[in-house]
Structure 1
């Protein structure tokens, strides 16, 4: 074989699915049923099948690992990793994806997983929970992407339902950024940013039992025809810097 012949190796997809549960950022993990790393926690994923594109493979793997056919939220490609040194089976390239989603129940585990469940991100980042392969690195990159997305795009609302209160949206930003935000200042910035939110005119019971206004994304900030939003927040909602 000529030395300049293109390399051939398997391709997988891994998915970092993030949600906010009870005010904390959580990631979807599986317990591996097969080697390598049998019995260890890992991101859901698997090999790309013939005829699939990467997004199709990521969507299929998530459905298999959760039992949810129509996954909520926003799914996008995060980056590629490998192929050298990341998998004991040999050179395998993985293309990681990021899902930002409202909390949804995990109904079933896939064929190569013993179980699937949500885990607090803080426990992983603090070293209390270890991950197989290079998934800790992938998760770290996904967290940085998610933090930046909330600054410059309306994707903070991807963690919420179609309609939400400002307090619910603020809890998303606090969970992803890992910091407390001033409620009045956040309300002013979120509602005053052009092209971000619109008032539905409806009310709901707030966290303290008082009525709270329900908001939703403006039409220009919503995804259309299955395509993710490309809206940019101007000015951005910048996270506090130490």
Structure 2
């Protein structure tokens, strides 16, 4: 079936499309006007929300800062109360069985808590030296940790190597720490080279219990956690300050533009 379109049909269709187009245009202008009219109130609502969030994060930051200071006070108390960390029989049994890196780390931390500066030699275990400690007076001491499983390797050659390390790093002395006891002939060699020997009995006499290191680790872990939380909340405060500034700038820009438009009209 063939459909014929006449000029009148096209004319009517054109009129309908024009009417629809005009209606759509005015609807668009109306919505655009509403949107522009609500732009500043919407921005102000964002600003109000950011201000509330900023206050919330400031309170959190204040709380974490307070916790940081409390943990730091605990740390200072820990250092002041070193003498209270006495060795119990249970502690001594733990000491007897410390191995390798655990033995080294525990007493390295103790040196730090006792006020020594602690350095690692540039070359790992160079000349059998595990750490170099420095006193408040500036005297440097080479330190070697030998746990109970490694005592058999200590002989005169081993000790001479330590002495060579002492000369290399310009140390004023050598300390040899072990958590059991050495054979008499090995002790004689150590004393022959003027090395300070700290065996099991000397460790429990001159150093605090290893428990102080565990308390130190717990304290420092909490400190770093609160430090991270404090930084994160402070960052959130700074971020809100930036967003509030951007909102204020946007509102000023809109008001300025509207003022210019009014002048043109």
TM-score, with structure 1 as normaliser: 0.24
Greater per-residue strand proportion:
1
Which one scores higher on RCO, CA 8 angstroms, separation ≥ 6? 2
Instruction: Please tell me whether Structure 1 or Structure 2 has the larger radius of gyration of its CA atoms.
Output: 2
TM-score, with structure 2 as normaliser: 0.22
Greater per-residue helix proportion:
2
